[in-house]
Amino acid sequence: MQLQRIHKRFHDLESRLRWVEQNYDMLSKTFQEDDSVWEDASSTGNIARFIKTSQEVKFMAEECTKQCMKDRNWRRDFAFFNTGGDIISDITSKSMQPATDSLGIRSPVGPEMAISGDASSGACWAFPGAVGQIGIRLRRRIVVQAVTIEHIGAKLAQNEIASAPKDFELYGIEGDGEDAANLLLLQGFYNITGPSTMQTFEVKEANFQSAHQKVVLKITSNHGNPEFTCLYRVRVHGKEA
């Protein structure tokens, strides 16, 4: 058990270091620009530009800190793939086929990424179009109390911002097969320009009456990309039934 915890901790640290490596050039360039802008501001009095650039540097520093504090909302994630969560494939949208690059055709990323990824740049699951869904089998039957959606930050996303989810609905699934019924737990709006990339949406207490081990997150719109939508990380919180 101790070895398993050490291995998991090592994997988490490795993922965060990979994020820093992937974004090193951008971070380095931003800090270099901050130094040059300060020199320019000192000699020309252009303080406004320095303030703007300093704000960008602050944002980048905050993103680095967040990447080193994953699962920082401190709420148990019953959807997490590494601890027993899983994908219900027959109610999950098809994965977006990746484009061919100079090295050949890349392997598509499956929906498991959305319940196990570290939200580093490019570590997301994409499905075609602006409307889709992901079915999740939770590790245990719980009274669902909240869902957390995470996307890469708007300033880091660059061209990916339009593919972020926007409007969504979370349903609890009751029954199996043709007799299955979906109970609407909450509706929400993911704000890609909000103060935090990790946004938690609470289920109203009126919907605490039943427990579920299966849920489906339906994305009903994104932020403008007609070709595909990206899900970086989805977390489901609650209390055991």
| Residue 135 CB contacts under 8 Å (≥ 6 apart), including other chains | 87, 88, 89, 90, 91, 92, 173, 214, 215, 216
pLDDT of residue 105: 43
pLDDT of residue 188: 97
Given a cut of 70, is residue 13 above it in pLDDT? no
- 194 to each of 9, 117, 119, how far by Cα in Å? 30, 21, 16
Q: Is 30 exposed, middle or buried (0-12, 13-18, 19+ CB in 10 A)?
A: middle
Domain range list for the chain:
81-97+109-240
User: Average per-residue pLDDT in the chain?
Assistant: 77
Per residue, the 3-state secondary structure of 32-89, as one string, reads HHHHHHHHHHHHHCCHHHHHHHHHHHHHHHHHHHHHCCCCCCCCCCCCCHHHCCEECH
Given a cut of 80, is residue 28 above it in pLDDT? no
Q: What percent of the chain has pLDDT over 90?
A: 46
- How does residue 72 score in pLDDT terms, banded at 50, 70 and 90? low
Lowest mean per-residue pLDDT among 61-70, 85-94, 102-111, 165-174: 61-70
pLDDT of residue 201: 97
Superfamily of domain 81-97+109-240: Galactose-binding domain-like (2.60.120.260)
pLDDT of residue 206: 85
